[in-house]
Structure 1
Amino acid sequence: MMTFMFAIFAFAMSLDKVQYGALFRNSQRQIGILSCALVMALLWQVQAGILPSLNIHILAVTAVTLVLGWRLSLLSSLLASLLCYFFASSEINFSSFWLLNGILPVYISYALFVVCYHYLPRHFFIYIFVCAFISGGLVAALKIILSAVYFWSIGLYDWQVLKDNYMFYSVIMWFPEAMLNGMAITLLITYRPHWVRTFYDKEYLDR
Structure 2
Amino acid sequence: MLLSMFTAAVFAATLNKQTYRALLARPARQTGVFASALCLALFWQIQAGILEHLNIHILGITAVTLIMGWRLASLCSLIASLLLLYFTDLSADQLAEFLLFSAFIPIFLSYGLYLLCYQFLPRHFFVYIFVCAFLCAGFVGAAKILISGGYFYLLGLYDLPTLLDNYMFYAVIMWFPEAMLNGMAITLLITYRPHWVKTFYDQEYLNK
TM-score by length of 1: 0.97
Q: Secondary structure at the match of 1:115?
A: helix
Q: Which runs of 5+ in 1 are unaligned?
A: none
Q: Does 1:180 align with 2:176?
A: no
Q: Secondary structure at the match of 2:115?
A: helix
Q: How many residues align?
A: 207
| CA distance in 1 between partners of 2:30 and 2:75 (Å) | 11
| CA distance in 1 between partners of 2:206 and 2:187 (Å) | 13
Structure 1 position 89, deviation (Å): 3.2
TM-score by length of 2: 0.97
Any idea what the Cα deviations from partners look like across 1:112-145, whole Å, max 9, x if unmatched?
Answer: 0000000000000000000000000000000000
Which residue is equivalent to 1:151?
Answer: 152
Q: Which amino acid aligns with 1:161?
A: T
- Give 1:8-27 correspondences, 5 Å limit: 8-27=8-27
* Runs of 4+ deviating beyond 3 Å: 89-92
Further displaced range: 146-155 or 57-66: 146-155
RMSD of Structure 2 on Structure 1 (CA): 1.0
Q: Secondary structure at the match of 2:14?
A: coil
Which residue is equivalent to 1:59?
Answer: 59
Q: 1:65 to 1:206 in 2, by over 3 A?
A: same
Q: 1:89 to 1:9 in 2, by over 3 A?
A: closer
Q: Secondary structure at the match of 1:197?
A: coil
Q: Does 1:125 align with 2:96?
A: no
Structure 1 position 10, deviation (Å): 1.3
| CA distance in 2 between partners of 1:34 and 1:90 (Å) | 20
Q: Which runs of 5+ in 2 are unaligned?
A: none
- Give 1:127-142 correspondences, 5 Å limit: 127-142=128-143
Q: Which amino acid aligns with 2:100?
A: L
Which residue is equivalent to 1:41?
Answer: 41
Structure 1 position 90, deviation (Å): 5.3
| CA distance in 2 between partners of 1:159 and 1:149 (Å) | 9
Further displaced range: 159-168 or 193-202: 159-168
Any idea what the Cα deviations from partners look like across 1:93-120, whole Å, max 9, x if unmatched?
Answer: 0000010111000000000000000000
Any idea what the Cα deviations from partners look like across 1:26-51, whole Å, max 9, x if unmatched?
Answer: 11111101110100010001110011
Q: Which amino acid aligns with 2:163?
A: L
| CA distance in 2 between partners of 1:154 and 1:86 (Å) | 27
Q: Which amino acid aligns with 1:187?
A: L
Which residue is equivalent to 1:82?
Answer: 82
Further displaced range: 190-199 or 12-21: 12-21
Q: Secondary structure at the match of 2:131?
A: helix
